[in-house]
Structure 1
Amino acid sequence: MTAFAAGLDFELDGFQERACAALADGRDVLVCAPTGAGKTVVGEFAVHLALAAGSTCFYTTPIKALSNQKFADFVRRYGRDSVGLLTGDQSINPSAPVLVMTTEVLRNMIYAGSDTLRGLSHVVMDEVHYLADRFRGAVWEEVILHLPADVRLISLSATVSNAEEFGAWLTTVRGDTAVVLDEVRPVPLWQHVLVGRRLFDLFQTDDPTAATIVAADLVRYVKQREELEQANSWAPRRGRPGPSAQRGRGYRPLPRPDVLALLDQEGLLPAITFVFSRQGCDAALAQCLRSRLDLAAPDSAEQIDAVITAHTGELPRADLEVLGYWEWREALLRGIAAHHAGMLPAFRHTVEELFVRGLVRAVFATETLALGINMPARTVVLERLVKFNGEAHVDLTPGEYTQLTGRAGRRGIDVEGHAVVLWQPELAVSEVAGLASTRTYPLRSSFRPSYNMAVNLVARVGTAAARELLERSFAQFQADRSVVGLVRGIDRNEARVAELRAQLADADGIVEYVGLRARIRDRERQLRRRDREDQRGAAATALSQLRRGDVVAVPAGRRAGLAVVLEPAGQPDDPRPLVLTAQRWAGRISIADAPVPIVPIGRLRLPKHVDHRQPRTRRDLASALRETGLTVPRSTRRSRAGTDGDDELAALRRAVRAHPAHTRPDREELARIGERYHRAMRETEHLREQVAATTDSLARTFDRILALLRERNYLNGDEITPAGRRLARIYTESDLVVAECLRRGLWRNLTAADLAAVVSVLVFESRTDDAHTLAEGPNDATRQAVHGTVEVWSQLRADERRHHLPATREPDLGFVEPVHRWARGRPLVDVLAAGDARRPLSAGDFVRWCRQVIDLLDQLPDATDDRQLAQTATAAIRAIRRGVVAIDAG
């Protein structure tokens, strides 16, 4: 520790000393500290220990950008010969004693039994709280569970409120683990609210760490503004008197250039303004460009231009216009920028470097910037406290607010950091105060076994040991702890049952009588449910029988009204015909839109090829639909359950009337007690079922996965078949679909561009719910292979339902045309035009999805015995990895 500390240009903080001391004593370490507190110093000490001992240290991160960043840091400190990088995209010096990698790379190395693991003494898992990520979190737990016991594990996490629980689990599965917590920010954070042009402190205190009471002057001023806004909302506008339709309507927030200028005057730049949409970030930047705002230093243009050239000098000049290069460059030269996943990676990396160097002073960013990239600011601005989560607009959680504002305050540069929330009429300052003063950020496991994980576990340790390993996961650890509360609930209920039973001791038969009445209610519910299921089945059958050109009346939901069928339903078990409504909406409807059977009410002659993604096509078809003169008939009502003719129900009703308790004068009073008794009994039974379901829940899911894999001959009993060994080499969300397509030869005899297009349906995810079709796909070979792939998924989905397993994600056809064009050498402008007309494909998304396609193509040679297919996959990678995709490949 002395030698390590001597090489630092700062004194170690207390938590850093405690963590390093534990690591020097040979213990595993979990460090939870705020953003910017310096927890990576503990990871760097692990590197120091490994190098001193002549062993190997792996430093893992959740994203490639962070891996690249740490690689550059370590190269500067230890020299290029001592450091390597493995990210999937890149392999630099893989035999180095210090290897920086993404966590997935380490997981794959463990399963493959890589020789690189020999001599490994330390593994640093930076941003270990990513194990809560519902898409990728399982990887972290797999690594933690599989690492040899003699390898020291250093887990670095953001501040979480259940760090002790996570540490207890690590001790259970890894051995003695020191939990080191630090909740003190190295740079104090001040909270503010900007109301119009006035900047207020949020809290009435001189100590930002003890803030609880909202500042009185802020409350008074906001009340005055609210009264003013309310008065304005009642004032006549454009000759139309009356109140506004909603509170705050007509309120104009301070323009972004004015906000940044005000922050500049207050000495609060550089700043990151979080805007929860890519479009919003771009619009904010455009607003600033239209103004005279210029935040760059007078002599910075040459430095900015040099950084731009270093990152983008290799971009084809023909692509610059479609990439928006010139507007982007102009903004940088004025010291402002946007930062989001839709941008070209080279553009994002340029912005990051310029911001860190102080050459860009204001960035409009989506929340992804808060997830690990080292890009702190003096000030963080939140325009709203609501974001869209993909399904609905939801309030920010305290944990999200803490993570976003944690970017404010640069250690070693700023004395204090600042968080600024922009006030608007619907915002209550008490809401801001609640977010700012709450430190609840629990870590919840997202671990669940996958098909690939199952065959790898069985191959490595056998079925019984694999089941035990799953039972040791953090997910099961948390589930088992929840059982304690359930058991307490059972104990309380049993005491309540005994008390109620005592109250009914002198009322013979009343419990039985109440039980009969309960059975009547249950039977009536059962009959109503059966009726709904029959109706649902009839509705599904009706949907599955619709044909192209049928005109129907959608009876319910947002799509209610006339519609024409563009494409039949496809899967009979979950029919979703593609339709176009009279309101120009095109997409797939389901039973949710048609809960009663719908039948054609007419026909519409359609062109041979219909591209519903084109606005003009939708407009013309909707017009033709309205001109048919067809009208929506009265909605069909759901039939009532046929309870009167049910023999079992009739018998129960006779038994109730004949029961001795039925004629008691105090029947209803006793029945109320009896119903509470039955309710307590049912709750107790439900709690017992929950305990049973929670205990060993992952192992049961694992057993169901094994049963499905045995049915499909990936396992023979507990032995891995050749097909299973190939599945073990496929790491993707749709692993079993890929394995099935390879085994059935569905991707044989395709060109490189065709294969890239087909593979894309298993990695691409549209940013809209609207369906994509291949009515006019690239060519017959691609269409057939895509349809075969979708059919494989459909059959797997049916098996997953039968085995009560989560469904594999549905293939998405939205990237087929763009990647096919790109792999055939078409220019970027043509490729981006091939995306969804309503939400065009951005250059950044295009590059990101191309790299996802490359990642899956790269796995195919190891997962197939078909030499020609393996060669085609390699050729497809070369065809895609060009131009903007090849630049900034990290």
Structure 2
Amino acid sequence: MKIRMPEMPPTTLLATLGLHNLLPAIVFLPTRRRCDEAASEAALARRGEPDARREARRDFMGSLVEQHPEIRHHRHWDTIIRGAVASHHAGHIPAWKLVIEKTMSAGLLDAIFATATVAAGVDFPARTVVVTVADRRSAHGWQSLTASELQQMTGRAGRRGKDRVGFIIAAPGPHQDPQRIAELLKAPPDDLESQFRATYTSLLNLLDAFGNFAQVRAIAEQSFVFRAALPEIHRLEKSRDDHEHRIQEKLRLASVDISSSTVRAIERLSSARARLLESAPQTRREARLRWLQKVVQPGRIAAVGRSGKRLAMVTSRSRDGVTAVREDGRTLSFALERIGRVFAPIYSTKPERIDEAFDEIHGRGHELALPEPRQRESRTDEDEAIKLINDLIDSLAMSANQIEKENVRELLWSLQIDAQAIEKAERQIERLRAEVWEPFERCARVLDHFGYLEFANERVTDRGRWLADLRVDRPLLIGEALQRGLFASLDATRAAAL
């Protein structure tokens, strides 16, 4: 149960920690704003206190200005110099956060006030970690800390080579929950989740370094995100190999000189034949509907209804429906199967040309009507394909020229269950591997469209190398904006504000 407790004033907190020799400390607070406020409050209260390290801080930070001139006039400069405290969160520019981390590591700060979200990204230990929150603020609102997040926060306690033990203090605060903190400290770590993502810049850098998509894919498959799929891939590979061994053993025992690849080829042909048989029209109605789906298209005139006397010009159609214009100019929509005859010419659908089209159909309709296929005719293509597949299966089955042909045929068909299992396992393995590569391929096609790489040649262009060096969020958006001169009118100050 969360207990509403007022926050301990930063000044009181630091004074208490100093009294018990528990400084320096990292104090985790709920929001960026509260971190800045706490640092300012603590610095204001400590301005008059003697501090032999004040000049050392001034000199140390001054030495960093040459490397990072943008920190010179930072509004928190005086807070650090006079108060030996600082705030650290994602709202600060990278150079300023680096200065804080270096100053803390140099032993020149007593406290840093930080948000829980930066716990995993900081690398400056302290003697003490103060936890004032059991929740963290995210893009989706307030969320409870996880065991791993609390572990990241508390793991900063204890300085290597200086402290034999680190201290963790749960301090009161409006977002504090001591019971929840106790539960999280005993909880097992959260499952690891890979943060490896397919991005435009990562793809450009990998392709430029390794030269082809095959190498990039191989690297992607070595990432931790792919490891989650490895147990399932290994299971499928074992199943595939077991079925392969079973086929080979049965062929060996039967003394049949046919390879397992031939058995799998027969299975693929059989599956193709089954799909053709399933898709072939079984009734006259199915055959006619398939024919209508093929021939009814915008610009053609069709006779509607049983009588076939009402004519309409098709203007658009969906899979099973048609929108058309009648001779009187009215628009109507109807099911595809209500069409009687369809006429061959494809006319312009412009209103001024429609009357001419109807006149021609009235005059020569009997010549221009498309012949409807009979059911037997509609299956000709499928039947020819099925016959070809049957011939191929027979030729593969008899390739060994065995005397007992019927026994060989029966054996080969008995092996199809194992062959089907092998083919299914192969498809599943490829699907799992493709899940890692497909995001990279989508990125590659986008980059190819904008000229940052050549997809067909698997080569990064000069523009692509320039884009790969952009260290910003949404590099493609920013890169295109820069290439098109959208920021050309901005001065340095306004450009930095972006």
Max Rg structure:
2
Structure possessing the higher relative contact order (Cα contacts under 8 Å, 6 or more residues apart): 2
Which structure shows the bigger proportion of residues in helix conformation?
2
